């Protein structure tokens, strides 16, 4: 009786491992195919690249001046 229970348990375990392995292989193949498709679509429809300009040093100094003025007003009122 113990041999049949262990045998059935091993059969179910191997069946489950087979399903999981098959699913993972299908998933990997699907991801590879999607990668090729998206790469091809990126060649057909490339994304626009926007150039972001860095703020100049003048803006930083004007921010410092604005902070100094704000602190002076706070000190004068307080």
Span 29-78, pLDDT tens digits = 999 999 999 999 999 998 888 888 876 655 555 678 888 888 999 989 87
User: In degrees rounded to 5, what are phi and psi of residue 53?
Assistant: -80, 140
Hey, is 49 helix, strand or coil? Answer: coil
**Separation of alpha carbons 48 and 42, rounded Å:** 11
pLDDT at 56: 62
Q: Is 6 left (phi over 0), alpha (psi -120 to 50) or beta?
A: alpha
Predicted TM-score of the model (pTM): 0.54
């Amino acid at each position: 009786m113990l041999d049949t229970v262990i045998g059935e348990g091993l059969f179910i375990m191997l069946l489950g491992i087979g399903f999981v392995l098959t699913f993972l292989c299908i998933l990997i193949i699907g991801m590879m195919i999607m990668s090729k498709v998206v790469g091809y679509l990126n060649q057909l429809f490339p994304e626009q690249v926007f150039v972001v300009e860095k703020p100049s040093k003048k803006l930083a100094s004007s921010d410092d001046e604005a902070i100094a003025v704000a602190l002076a007003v706070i000190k004068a009122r307080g």
